[in-house]
Chain A
C-alpha cells in the first residue's frame, strides 16, 4: 500500500514536472502568442447571436503552480466597450462585467458547472468572488490595461493533479448590444505584463475575433488527454470565412466543416493513439476570395463521452508540427 502511494507520488511528480516544463517559457497572455488571435470578444446581452457570440459571456481559467507564492494580477486590456477596438452596434451602450473567482467551486475538473457550458440553472459563477468591475464606454480604459489584484495564489482552488491553484475570470455583457474586444494577461506585476513561471490559461469555449486580413492565420490548441478516441468540434457563426484545418504530428491537415451566419456546425475528428498527451493545432485560415471583416466566432470541443476539452493558451507539448511519413509497399505489376 505504501509502495503504491510512493509510485503514485512519483508519477504525479513526473507529470507535474513535464507539464511545468512545457509551459515554463510561454507566459500567460490570453490569447496566447502562438494562437495569433487578435482579441477575445463578448457582446452585450442585447446583441444578436448572429454577430458572433452565442451566449454573451466568456470564461477563462488560470492555473498557478503551488510553488509560486507571490501576489498575482489579472490584467485586462481594453476592458471598456468603446473607442479604438470594440465593435459598435448603433452607439456604444454596452456594459461588460469582469469577475475574478477563487476558492472552492472554481476548479472545472471538480465542478463541471464552473466550465460555463451547462445551460439552464447551472452556476458558472461558482467559487468565491475575489474582485469584480463593470466597464462601459470609458475612454480612460480604452486601449489600456486594467489590473485585478493583487491575489494571493492560495486564494485559488487547488488542483492536485496539476499541483496548481485555479482562478477563474468571467466576462459578461450585462447590457447593450456592442461587442467588447479585450485580452488578458496573468502577471506578477500590477503595472507591467510579467509572466508567472509555470502558469497557464485555458477555456472550454473560445469566443474570439478573426483577423481583418487575408493572410493571418489564428490557432487554438486543444489538449488531447488520456482516453480520447475522437473529439467533436462545434463552431458557431463562422460566416463561411475560409477553412479550419486540424493539424498534429500525425495530421497534415483535416478540413473541418465551418458554419455560416448564426449557425452551429458539428463534426467528429478521429484521434490517433499517438496524439494522446499532446495538443492539436486548429488553424483558422481566412477566406481568400473576399475579405470577411469583423468576424467573431465561437468554438468548443468535447470528447467521445461528451466531456469538454480544454484549449490552452500555451499549447501543452508545444505547437504540434506535422511529421510526414512515406509508406512504401511492393505491389504486383498490373497486367
Chain B
C-alpha cells in the first residue's frame, strides 16, 4: 500500500515537473561582478555611465566603516560600464555624510545631476549616542564628478519616522518614496509628492491597492508608467518580493507579482529596469548576503509579425463592364459551382470551405429575351491562408481561464518543432495548446511564433502571427 502511494506521488511529481518544463523562464538572472562576497550590495540605479549602487563594503582592505552603533555603513558607489563588457571596480561617490551616516538608496532626477538619496536625519550630538535610533530621510545634492555637493534635506523628513528610497518620474514631476509616517496601512508605505512651482506637495499615500498591512519599499517609477516596488505581503514567493502596478484612470491597479527567477523564496527587492524592460537589475539575498543581479528578458517578441487573418471564403463576383453602367438591359445569373446561385451584375457569395469551384455566368438579354448560357466562366481556387493560426476568443474577462491553440495552423511542408506564445503581458508559453488568463483588463497583442525543424542546411524557418485580445474587467 505504501509502495503504491509512493508510486502515485512519484507520477504526480513527474507530471508536474513536465508541465512546468513546458513553460520556460521569461528572465535570465546573473549576479553582477562588482558584488563583493561578505558585504551587502543593494539598490542599483541605472545611469548613462554604468550602475550606481549602495554597499556596506569596507573603507579599505583592513578598516570597516561603522556607524556610531557599530554597524557597517552603507555608502554610494559607481561601477562604470566598460566598452566591451563588465564593469570597472566601483568607485565611491562621496559627500559630507560619507563615513558618518548610512547613505543610499538613491535616484537621479531627469536633469542627470540632481541626486535624491537616503541618509540619516539627525546629525547632531544625539546621533552619536549608541542607543539613539536615528531615522532615515531624503537628501538632495548635486552630483559633481564623484562628489555629492550642496546637500540639503527633503522638506518632509522627520526625526520621528523614516522617509527614504526615492524614485522620480521621468518628467520630474513626481517623487515616490517609502515611509512609515503615521496614517499608513501598516509597516512602511509608498507615498508620492507632486512638484508644484518648484515645491514638493504634501505626501500622498498610494492607497490600499498598493500599500498593505505589510511593508512596501523601494519604489521605482519606470518610464512606461509602471511603478515597481518591494513588499513582504502574503501571496508572494517568500520574504521580500517585487511587484508592479500602474495608474489606470486615476486608480492604482492590483499589484502584479513578478515571476521567478526575479522573485525567489529569499528577499528580492530594489528592482530597476531599462526603458524597454528587456534588461534591468535588482537586489537579492538568495545567496545569503545582499547582492545585485542583472536580469535579461528571454521573452521573444518579434518586431515584425503579421496580423492573423481569418480564413475567408467570401468573394464578390461582377460583370466588369456591366457594373460601370447605371442600368443594363441584361440579367446576370451566376452559378457558383457549389449548388448555389445568385442574380445581378454584382453578387457576393461565401463558399463553405477550400476547394476548386467553376463559377458560371449566364446572361439574359432583356431586350431580345435571348439567354447566353455560360457566357463566361472562371475557376476559383479557394484556399486557406498559409499562416500560423491562433484560436482564441476576441474578448475575455480578467481572470477568465481560456485555452489557446494553434491547431488550425496552415503551413504546408513545415515540420513544426515549436509553438511559442507571447501573450503580450510579459508571459509566454510553449506548446500547441496552452492555458492562459489575464490578470488585468486591457488590450493584449498575442504573438504565436512557429518554428520548423532545421532543413539539411541547418536553416530553420520561422513564422509569426499576432492577434489582439481584449480583456474586460471581471463582471
Contacts and interface: CB of A to CB of B under 8 A. Distances in A.
Contacts of B315: 328-331
Interface stretch (B29-37, B39-47, B69-77, B372-380): B372-380
Interface stretch (A57-65, A185-193, A226-234, A246-254): A246-254
A330 B380 CA distance: 11
Contacts of B330: 252-253
B317 A328 contact: yes
A324 B363 contact: yes
Interface string A297-335: 000000000000000000000000010111111111110
A253 B380 CA distance: 27
Contacts of A48: none
A255 B359 contact: no
Contacts of A329: 315-316, 318
B452 to A, nearest CB: 28
Nearest to B346: A327
Listed residue (B315, B324, B359, B367) with the most chain A CB atoms within 10 angstroms of its CB: B367
Nearest to A285: B367
A253 B81 CA distance: 80
Given A243-B367, A245-B329, A253-B329, A327 B317 contact: yes
A278 to B, nearest CB: 15
B328 A254 contact: yes
B312 interface: yes
B328 A285 contact: no
B384 to A, nearest CB: 13
A46 to B, nearest CB: 36
A217 B329 CA distance: 16
A105 B313 CA distance: 66
A326 B317 contact: yes
Given A326-B320, A327-B318, A328-B317, A255 B376 contact: no
Nearest to B322: A252
Contacts of A326: 317-320, 359, 361, 376-378
A275 to B, nearest CB: 11
Given A245-B367, A285-B368, A330 B376 contact: no
Interface string A239-275: 0001101000011111100000000000000100000
A328 B316 contact: yes
B84 interface: no
Interface in B280-333: 312-325, 327-330
A330 B367 CA distance: 32
Determine the interface band of chain B, counting residues with CB < 8 A from chain A.
20 to 34
B332 to A, nearest CB: 9
A331 B348 contact: yes
Interface residues of A, number: 24
Which of A217, A252, A285, A333 is packed against the most chain B CB atoms within 10 Å? A252
Contacts of A328: 315-317, 359, 378, 380
Contact of A325 (B316, B320, B380): B320
A252 B327 CA distance: 12
A333 B328 contact: no
Contact of A331 (B314, B322, B363, B376): B314
Contact of B321 (A245, A255, A324): A324
A245 B368 CA distance: 11
Contacts of B350: 333
A253 B366 CA distance: 10
A324 B334 CA distance: 14
B314 A332 contact: yes
Nearest to A242: B367
A203 to B, nearest CB: 25
Main secondary structure of the interface of B (DSSP, over half): strand
B343 interface: no
Contacts of B316: 327-331
A252 B363 contact: yes
A322 B365 CA distance: 13
B314 A251 contact: no
Nearest to A250: B321
A250 B321 CA distance: 6
A289 B188 CA distance: 99
A181 B319 CA distance: 42
A245 B319 CA distance: 18
A333 B312 contact: yes
B396 to A, nearest CB: 20
B35 to A, nearest CB: 58
A203 B240 CA distance: 101
Contacts of B376: 324-326
B84 to A, nearest CB: 54
Contacts of A253: 328-330, 365, 367
Contacts of A254: 325, 328
Contacts of B367: 242-243, 245, 253, 255, 285
B354 to A, nearest CB: 14
Nearest to A325: B320
A38 B363 CA distance: 29
A72 B284 CA distance: 114
Interface in B331-367: 348, 350, 359, 361, 363, 365, 367
Contacts of A242: 367
B329 A255 contact: yes
Contacts of B319: 252, 324-327
Nearest to A329: B316
B371 to A, nearest CB: 13
A69 to B, nearest CB: 45
Nearest to B348: A331
Contacts of B314: 330-334
B315 to A, nearest CB: 6
Most buried by B among A250, A255, A270, A334: A255
A325 to B, nearest CB: 4
A249 to B, nearest CB: 9
A253 B372 CA distance: 14
A253 B324 CA distance: 12
A322 B330 CA distance: 13
A331 B314 CA distance: 6
Contacts of B328: 252-255
B69 to A, nearest CB: 73
Contacts of A324: 319-321, 361, 363, 375-376
Contacts of A325: 319-321, 376
Contacts of A330: 312, 314-316
Given A328-B380, A331-B348, 7 more contacts: A253-B330, A254-B325, A255-B327, A324-B321, A325-B319, A328-B317, A333-B312
26 contacts: A217-B368, A242-B367, A245-B329, A250-B321, A251-B325, A252-B328, A253-B328, A253-B329, A253-B330, A253-B365, A253-B367, A255-B329, A255-B367, A285-B367, A324-B319, A324-B361, A325-B320, A325-B321, A326-B318, A326-B320, A327-B318, A328-B359, A328-B378, A331-B348, A332-B312, A333-B350
The 5 closest A-B pairs by CB, nearest first: A325-B320, A327-B320, A324-B376, A327-B318, A333-B314
